[in-house]
Amino acid sequence: MERRPNCASGSWPAPGRPAGLLLPHDLRCSNRLAGQRLILRRPSPTDRRGHIVSLTAEGRRFFRAMARENADWIGQIFADLSPEDIETLMGALARTKTSARKAIGRGVA
């Protein structure tokens, strides 16, 4: 793709933190994406601190193109695995996801 939004973020809302509240990095990132006309950001009608963020039509096109590239990349990474290997991996990932959700529920993560 010729254009990247330049907003890498691993920041997910912490447990108990409303998802609509933006951290400074998130706000800078959303400002860049809005400036590129990839998202629309509007104030939350129920929480003056929060925002509702949605993709624009251009943002959806960009996301779909990026997702296709990502799918191709993932396909290349797993190209040497057999269907059985992939099935084993997917089972392990599902169990990991379940374990992580339980840990979050216990307040560990």
pLDDT(2) > 60: no
Spans of all domains in the chain: 13-76, 78-109
Tell me if residue 1 falls in helix, strand or coil: coil
Domain 13-76 has CATH 1.10.10.10: yes
Q: What is the pLDDT of residues 72-99, one digit of tens each?
A: 999 999 999 999 999 999 999 999 999 9
CB 17 within 8 A of CB 41: no
CB 13 within 8 A of CB 21: yes
pTM: 0.55
In this structure, what are the phi and psi dihedrals at residue 42, rounded to the nearest 5 degrees? -135, 155
pLDDT(49) > 60: yes
Give the pLDDT band (50/70/90) at residue 1: very low
The residues that bridge with 55 in the sheet, in sequence order, are 39
pLDDT recorded at residue 24: 77
